[in-house]
Amino acid sequence: MTTVLRSLLQDFREGRTLPSGAPRLTWYGPGGERVELSGKVLDNWVAKSGNLLQDELDGGPGVSISLALPAHWKSFVLVLAAMDLGMLARLDGDALEDADMTATADEALVGRAGEVDTQLIAVALGALSPRWPGELPSGVVDYAGAVRGHGDVFQPWMDADPTQAVLSTGGREIDDAGLRTFATEAADGVRLLVHAGDGLPAALAAALGAWLAGGSVVLVHPEVDVTPRLRESEKISA
């Protein structure tokens, strides 16, 4: 069955609205960090992450994951992967105890691995971080260290029911069709500036709106100065 999300990932992969090699997500982080993901590469990261969640953590329909993460390109990848699996992606960090697994970059939370009733996934946010910086408690999955070893093509073990919620935020539960309503309206082909400081729910809504309109996203960390030169070089249109 073709769903809103599967159709979007197919667009990334096949380049139906933008060439698959064109940027779909560009990240500006602190210290001059810049990461650019084409549609094909973004789909590849989502596929690898989906395989990690499914193969190592038994992710799938009926399983929930809390994204206790800031707005970041890796957060976007994990949300897309979880939803594609039919998991319920919770964007409100206070839902830790209700989630089967939790992705976090918080060292303090990672250190509480034996105290919280959730499978922890430690996410190193640095672009060049090949693994979590430091020793991880037993049972915590190192996202950066594990994800690259998974397959480039994702095949779910079972198809999810598209009427079941795949996203939870602000007291709302949203199914696949509802992603179009959740997404912020955007102009066709927009090159959209998204501020990470607005938080993961708002940033994801903006990004989905741009992607569904055949556009692309420039996501900037709060410490990044959005100069006229940056706007011009990235061809930002909104």
The one-letter amino acid at 10: Q
* Dist CA 222 CA 162 (whole Å): 35
Is residue 132 a contact partner of residue 122, using CB atoms and an 8 Å limit?
yes
pLDDT tens per residue across span 181-213: 999 999 999 999 999 999 999 999 999 999 999
- 4-233 topology per CATH: Rossmann fold (3.40.50)
pLDDT tens per residue across span 56-115: 999 999 999 999 999 999 999 999 999 999 999 999 865 566 799 999 999 999 998 888
* pLDDT attached to residue 92: 85
* Dist CA 67 CA 87 (whole Å): 12
* Dist CA 23 CA 99 (whole Å): 33
How do the domains of the chain map onto residue ranges? 4-233
C-alpha angle 182-147-38 in degrees, rounded to nearest 5 = 55
